[in-house]
Structure 1
Amino acid sequence: MAGSISFLGSYSGIDTATIDSLIEAESGKLVQYTNKQTDITAEKNAWKDINTRLDSLFTKLGTLEEDKTFQSKTTTSSDATKVAITAGTNAAASNYSIEVTQLATATQATSGIIDSAIGKTIKDSLGLSGNFTILNHEKNGPEVDGSFKIDVLIEDSLNDIVGKINEKSKESGIEAKIVDNRIIMTDSKMGARTMTFGGTLTAGGSTSSMIEELGFGTTSNQKVGQSAELAVDGITMTRDTNSITDAVDGLTIELKGLTEASKPVVVGIKEDTDTTIKAFQSFVDQYNSTMTFVSDQLDVGDPSADKNKTGALAGDSSLMRLQSSLRSLMTQSVDSGNPSYNNLGSIGISVDRFGAATLDSTKLKTALADDPTAVKKMLFQTTSTDTPSIDEYGVTTTVTTEKEVGMAQKMRSLIDTYISDKSGIIATKSATYDKLSEDISKSITKFNERLEKKRENYVAMFTRLDTAMMEAESQLAYLQSQFSTTD
C-alpha cells in the first residue's frame, strides 16, 4: 500500500512550522497552568521544611522538661581503677570517702581433666553415657530433688555437654565454659554460695567406672565466692556484688580494686550545669533557625524592583500567625513562684527587635544556682482549677480542670497545631496542595489534548487548501492549453 502524500505547504506556503507558531500562540494558558503548578510545589516544599524545623524545635523544648537536663550530675574519682561511680538525677552533690578491703567474687567449680577428651577437639565425641545433676545455692530446680539434670549421650562432645548446661543457666543461675579440656561452672551471683553435684558421671555417682569422669562432686574442686567488703565515710558494709546501688541514694558504686590501707578513694558528685546550658542553647539555636526560615518564606522583597523575588509563602496568613505567636511566647511572663524568674529574659534568653534570640549563659547559670525549681516552673507548669457543677439530679460536684501554663508547654502546644500528622495545619495544607496539583495536572492534560486536536484540524484544513490550490492550478493549466490549441 502506497504511503499517503502530504501537500502541506506546497502551494499555500503554510507548513508545519507555521502551524507550530499558531499552536504556540494559543498555548498561553498552558504556561499559566505550569507556573501555577510550580508555585504550588514551591509552597508545599516550603511548608515541608517548616514542619521539619518545627518538629526539631518541639523536641528540643521537650528536652528542657527532662529531669536529666536540670538534675544531671558530673562525677569524679581520685582513682577510677579502684572505685568508679555513676550518679542518678536524685543523687545529692557531695564527696564520699570509700575504702575497699575485699572484692566480691562468684563461686566456681572446676572439673578434672576429662580423660576421654585428651587428644580430641572439644567437638569430638567423648564416648560417655550417663548423667549428672547440679543443685544451685537456692536448692531450687525443676528436676531431680530440686536439681538440674544433664543427660550425656555417647555421641556428645565436650562442647555439647557445656551447651546443655548453658541451656538451663537461665533457671539454674550457673554458666559453663571449657578451659584446657576442663569444664568450669560459674555461679551468676556473687558471694559465699555453693553448688552440689551428683549423678553417674560425677564423684558419688552410681556407676563406678565413670565415677570421677567429670570430677565434680567434692568441695576440693570448688572455689567458693566471697562478698565485697567496703567502708563509705567510715561505715563498713558487705555486699554480694561489686556494683553497689543501695549504699548511697542515687549513686552506683563500682568496685574495681582494693584500696591501700588508710588511703581511701575520694569520689565527688557535682551539679552538671553544662548539660543544662547546652540544652537551652540548642533550643535558642533551633528557634532562630526556624524563625529565619519563616521570615525568608514571608519576604515580599522590593515590590518596586524589576523581577522582584518573593518568598514562597509571602502573604500566607497561617505562617504569619505562627511567626507572631512564637515571638510573643518568647517574651511572655509566667508565675513561677519567684518574681525574679518569670520570663525567659530573667534567665538570660533575650530577643532583639528583629526576633533573634540570644543566650547569656552566665545569667542562666546564676538563675539555676539560685532557684532551679522556679526556672523549670516558668517553662513547665500545670495549674488546676476546681469548678462547682450541679448534675441532673441537683447534686453538686466539683470538676477539676488542668491547664498547662508554662512557656515551653504553650510553645509546644502551638507547634503541635501545625505539625500534628492528622489534624495539623501543615498536613491539611499539604493535602490541599496535592489536590490542587492533581486538578492542574488534569487541566494540563485536557488542554494538551485540545491543542493536539487543534493541530490535527490545522493540518487537515491547510492540507485541503493545498490540495484545492493544486487542483485549481491544474485546471488553469488545462484551460490555457485549450486556448493555445484554438489559436
Structure 2
Amino acid sequence: MAGIQISGLLSNSAFDWKEVVDKLVTISRAPINTLNKEKESNLAKASALADLGTKLTELKDAMQAIRADEVFRARTVVSDNASTTWKSSSVKGSAIGSYTFDVTQLATQAQLRGASDIGGGLAATSDVSGLTLANAPTAKAITAGTFTVAGQQVTVALTDSLQDVFTKISTATGGGVTASYNPTTDRVTLTKSSGELVLGAANDTSNFLSAMKLANNGTATTTSGGALGTTKTAASLATAGLRTAITAVDGSGNGSFSLNGVSVSYNVNTDTLTSVISRINEAGAGVTASYDAANDRVVLLNEETGDLGISVSESSGGLLGALGLTSAGGGTLVRGKNAQFTVNGGDVLTSTTNTLDATAHGVTGLSVTVNTATKQTLQVESDTQTMDAAIGTFLEKFNALQDYIDEAAKVTVTSTGVTTGVLASNREVQAWAGELRRMAFNAVSGVTGGIDRLDDLGIDFDGTSSRLVVKDSGKLATALGDDPESVESLFVNSTSGLVPKFYDYLGTLGSATRSQTSRLTEANLDIDDQVAVLESRIESERTSLTNSFIKMLEAQQLAQTQNTYLTNTYFKNSSS
C-alpha cells in the first residue's frame, strides 16, 4: 500500500513568497510615487518662481534707478579747448546752453612774509677763528673738498675754522686774494689785488663758495649776496640764534600769540621753530606756515584764495616780532587777488576762489575750476550717454523677464511627443508677461511734451516677439539730446509715468510670486504628511503579509511531519 501523499503550496516548489510580498508592497506604493512626483513638480515650480522673482526685482530696480538717480536731468560740460586743464561740472537739471568764460585774473592767496635774515650772524665780531665749518649756521651745510679762487684750488676740511679758510685762500693765491667777514652785514668779502676775480671751477668738490653766497660779478671784489647766518630750526627758540630776543614770556619761558583770532602757545626752552610751525599749521587758523631757508624767514600763507587779510597779534617782545612777522618787525603782507572774469561778454565778475560757481556767475548748477587766465566756451549738454545706458538697462531687464517667462511657459509639440515648460500650466504668470508688454506699448497719459510712448523714442517690440529693441537709434539720440524733459516726463511722471506704473505693478507681482511659492511649500508639507501615513500603512501591510506566509509555511511543515510519521508507523508495519 502506498504511503499517504500531502502536497502543499510551499513544499518542494520554487515559490518565493518574499518576492510576492515585495511585489504586493510595490503595488501599494503607487500612490506614494504619485505624491513624490507631485512634490518634485512643486519644487521645480517653486525654484522657477524664485528665479522669476529675481528677474522681477532686477527690472523693478532698473526702473527705480531711473527715478532715484534723476537720469534724464544728468548733464555734461564740454570745453571748446580739447586740451583744457579747467575742471568743469554741472549738477542734474542745470540749464542747457553755451557759456563763454573769459578769465583775466586768477585768485591767489595772501601771504605774510616775515623779515629776511631773522637769525643772528655767523659771528659777533670779525674774528671767525673760533667758528668751524661744521658748526657754521649757514642756510646749507658746508661740505669738505676743494673750491677754486682766481684759478687756484683751495682744500678745506669741516674741522677748519672760517679764519683757516681765509688763510688758505690767501696762501693758495700767493696773497693775491684776501678774505674777510663783516659782522654788521653778516657777509664775507673776497678781494683780488688786481684784475678780475674769478671764482669756481667745474671740478670743485666743496660747496663753500655757494654756502657763502659768493658769485662772480666781473670785478675784483665780490661780497656775499645776503646775510649768511640762519636760524637753527631744530634748536630751542632760546638757542636758535634769532637776531631779536624773545622777551614776552613768563618765568618758565611760556608765551603766546594770535593768528586770525586763534591763540597759539609756545615755550622758548622746549619748542623749536619747526615745532611752532607745525603747531600753527594744526591750529585751524586758516594759514599755513613755512620756513624759507634761502632767505632765513618765516612765511604765512592763507589757506583760502582771494583778497583776504591775515591778522597777527601779540605782546611786544614776542615770538612773532622776533620772526619779523609783525609790522614793527618788518613783516610784509602781499595781498591775495580775486579771480576776475566775464561770462558771454557781460560785466566783469569776481570770485575769491578759482572755483567759479553759481554764486559768482549766476548759472545754476554750473561749477568751473580755472587754473589759467584764458578764454574758453563751455557747452552744458544732456548727458545722453548716462541716459542711454539707463534705458539700455531697462530694456535688458525687461527682455530678460519676458524671455524667462516665454521659456518657462513654453509648450513644444514634436513627432515624438509634447514637452512643457515648468510654468506652462501657470496662466497667472503668462498673464503677467502680457500685462507688462501692454504697459510698455501703450501711450502714457498726463505727460508734458510730445513724447508719450516708447515708440516716440524709436523703441518697439521686435517683430512678434516679446522683446523690446531700439529700432531707430537716431530718434532716441535726438530725443535725449534735444528734449530730455519730455523723456523724463514719459518715464517718471509722478502718477502715470512708466517708472511709477512699472514699479508698483512689479511690486504686486513680487508679492504674488511669493504667495504662489508659499502655497507650493504648504502643498509639499501636506504631501509629506500623506506619504508618512501611507508609509506607515504599507509597513503594516508588509508585516501582515509576511506573518501570513510564515504561518502557511509552518502549517505545511507540520503536515509534512505528520505525514512522515503516519507513513513510517502504519505503512511500514503493513508491509512487514
Q: TM-score, normalized by length of structure 2?
A: 0.59
2:422 aligns to what?
312
Letter in 1 for 2:87: A
Which of 82, 86, 89 is the equivalent residue of 2:85? 82
Q: Tell me how far 1:370 sits from its aligned partner.
A: 5.5
1:365 aligns to what?
477
2:234 aligns to what?
114
Following the alignment from structure 1 to structure 2, what is the Cα–Cα distance between the partners of residues 270 and 196?
48
User: How big is each residue's C-alpha offset from its partner over 1:415-472, in whole Å with a ceiling of 9 and x where there is no partner?
Assistant: 22112xxxx2112222212211222223223333333343344444434444444444
User: How big is each residue's C-alpha offset from its partner over 1:131-185, in whole Å with a ceiling of 9 and x where there is no partner?
Assistant: 6767453x2xxxxxx6366899989xx999969985x75xx667899999xx999
SS at match of 2:404: helix
Aligned ranges 1:216-227 → 2 under 5 Å: 226-227=336-337
Aligned 8 A contact 2:444 2:496 in 1: yes
2:353 aligns to what?
241
5+ unaligned residues in a row in structure 1: which ranges? 1-7, 118-128, 140-145, 206-210, 383-403
SS at match of 2:429: helix
Following the alignment from structure 1 to structure 2, what is the Cα–Cα distance between the partners of residues 184 and 40?
80
Following the alignment from structure 1 to structure 2, what is the Cα–Cα distance between the partners of residues 287 and 409?
15
Q: Tell me how far 1:271 sits from its aligned partner.
A: 2.5
SS at match of 2:419: coil
User: How big is each residue's C-alpha offset from its partner over 1:328-360, in whole Å with a ceiling of 9 and x where there is no partner?
Assistant: 222222345678533222331222333332212
User: How big is each residue's C-alpha offset from its partner over 1:21-79, in whole Å with a ceiling of 9 and x where there is no partner?
Assistant: 33222211121111111111122222222222222222323344467422322223326
Following the alignment from structure 1 to structure 2, what is the Cα–Cα distance between the partners of residues 98 and 149?
46
Q: 1:133 to 1:454 in 2, by over 3 A?
A: farther
Following the alignment from structure 2 to structure 1, what is the Cα–Cα distance between the partners of residues 555 and 113?
113
Following the alignment from structure 1 to structure 2, what is the Cα–Cα distance between the partners of residues 60 and 286?
7
Letter in 2 for 1:362: G
Q: Tell me how far 1:86 sits from its aligned partner.
A: 0.9
2:244 aligns to what?
none
2:444 aligns to what?
334
Which of 369, 374, 377 is the equivalent residue of 1:254? 369
1:267 counterpart = 2:378:
yes
Q: Tell me how far 1:375 sits from its aligned partner.
A: 3.4
Following the alignment from structure 2 to structure 1, what is the Cα–Cα distance between the partners of residues 281 and 534?
78
1:392 aligns to what?
none
Which of 427, 430, 438 is the equivalent residue of 2:525? 438
Following the alignment from structure 2 to structure 1, what is the Cα–Cα distance between the partners of residues 404 and 301?
61
Q: 1:152 to 1:324 in 2, by over 3 A?
A: farther
User: How big is each residue's C-alpha offset from its partner over 1:80-112, in whole Å with a ceiling of 9 and x where there is no partner?
Assistant: 663121122214321423436335448699997
1:147 aligns to what?
263
Aligned 8 A contact 2:104 2:341 in 1: yes
Letter in 2 for 1:61: M
Q: 1:468 to 1:408 in 2, by over 3 A?
A: same
Aligned 8 A contact 2:111 2:299 in 1: no
1:325 counterpart = 2:423:
no
Following the alignment from structure 1 to structure 2, what is the Cα–Cα distance between the partners of residues 279 and 100?
40
5+ unaligned residues in a row in structure 2: which ranges? 1-9, 115-230, 238-251
Aligned ranges 1:22-33 → 2 under 5 Å: 22-33=24-35
2:46 aligns to what?
44
Q: Tell me how far 1:293 sits from its aligned partner.
A: 1.5
Aligned ranges 1:165-244 → 2 under 5 Å: 189-191=304-306, 192-194=308-310, 196=312, 204=318, 226-227=336-337, 229-233=339-343, 236-244=348-356
Following the alignment from structure 1 to structure 2, what is the Cα–Cα distance between the partners of residues 470 and 109?
126
Which moves more between the two structures, 101-110 or 462-471? 101-110
User: How big is each residue's C-alpha offset from its partner over 1:295-333, in whole Å with a ceiling of 9 and x where there is no partner?
Assistant: 22222333x865422122223232132122112222222
> What's the C-alpha RMSD, in Å, of the aligned pairs?
4.7
Letter in 2 for 1:26: S
Aligned 8 A contact 2:451 2:486 in 1: yes
Aligned 8 A contact 1:76 1:268 in 2: yes
Q: Percent of counterpart pairs with the same letter?
A: 19
2:57 aligns to what?
55
2:411 aligns to what?
300
1:388 aligns to what?
none
Q: 1:133 to 1:438 in 2, by over 3 A?
A: farther
2:100 aligns to what?
96
Q: 1:164 to 1:266 in 2, by over 3 A?
A: closer
Aligned 8 A contact 1:102 1:258 in 2: yes
Q: How many residues align?
A: 419
Q: 1:99 to 1:82 in 2, by over 3 A?
A: farther
Following the alignment from structure 2 to structure 1, what is the Cα–Cα distance between the partners of residues 28 and 555?
27
User: How big is each residue's C-alpha offset from its partner over 1:184-204, in whole Å with a ceiling of 9 and x where there is no partner?
Assistant: 9986644445375879xx982
Letter in 1 for 2:73: Q
Q: 1:319 to 1:164 in 2, by over 3 A?
A: farther
SS at match of 2:103: strand
2:549 aligns to what?
462
1:124 aligns to what?
none
Following the alignment from structure 2 to structure 1, what is the Cα–Cα distance between the partners of residues 517 and 269?
68
1:416 aligns to what?
507
SS at match of 2:412: coil
Aligned 8 A contact 1:92 1:269 in 2: yes
SS at match of 1:477: helix
Following the alignment from structure 1 to structure 2, what is the Cα–Cα distance between the partners of residues 379 and 464?
82
Q: Tell me how far 1:275 sits from its aligned partner.
A: 2.6
Q: Which has the larger radius of gyration?
A: 2
Q: Tell me how far 1:231 sits from its aligned partner.
A: 1.8
Aligned 8 A contact 1:11 1:469 in 2: no
User: How big is each residue's C-alpha offset from its partner over 1:378-413, in whole Å with a ceiling of 9 and x where there is no partner?
Assistant: 33335xxxxxxxxxxxxxxxxxxxxx2234432322
Following the alignment from structure 1 to structure 2, what is the Cα–Cα distance between the partners of residues 449 and 290?
45
SS at match of 2:367: strand
Q: 1:459 to 1:108 in 2, by over 3 A?
A: farther
Following the alignment from structure 2 to structure 1, what is the Cα–Cα distance between the partners of residues 535 and 288?
77
Aligned ranges 1:444-455 → 2 under 5 Å: 444-455=531-542
Following the alignment from structure 2 to structure 1, what is the Cα–Cα distance between the partners of residues 53 and 447?
34
Aligned 8 A contact 1:40 1:433 in 2: yes
Q: 1:432 to 1:305 in 2, by over 3 A?
A: farther
Letter in 1 for 2:506: I
Q: 1:354 to 1:163 in 2, by over 3 A?
A: same
Following the alignment from structure 1 to structure 2, what is the Cα–Cα distance between the partners of residues 18 and 222?
116
Return the structure number with greater relative CO, CA threshold 8 A, min gap 6: 2
Letter in 2 for 1:32: T
Following the alignment from structure 1 to structure 2, what is the Cα–Cα distance between the partners of residues 464 and 154?
111
Following the alignment from structure 1 to structure 2, what is the Cα–Cα distance between the partners of residues 225 and 17?
110
Aligned 8 A contact 2:256 2:266 in 1: yes
User: How big is each residue's C-alpha offset from its partner over 1:197-223, in whole Å with a ceiling of 9 and x where there is no partner?
Assistant: 879xx9827xxxxx98xx797688999
Letter in 1 for 2:56: L
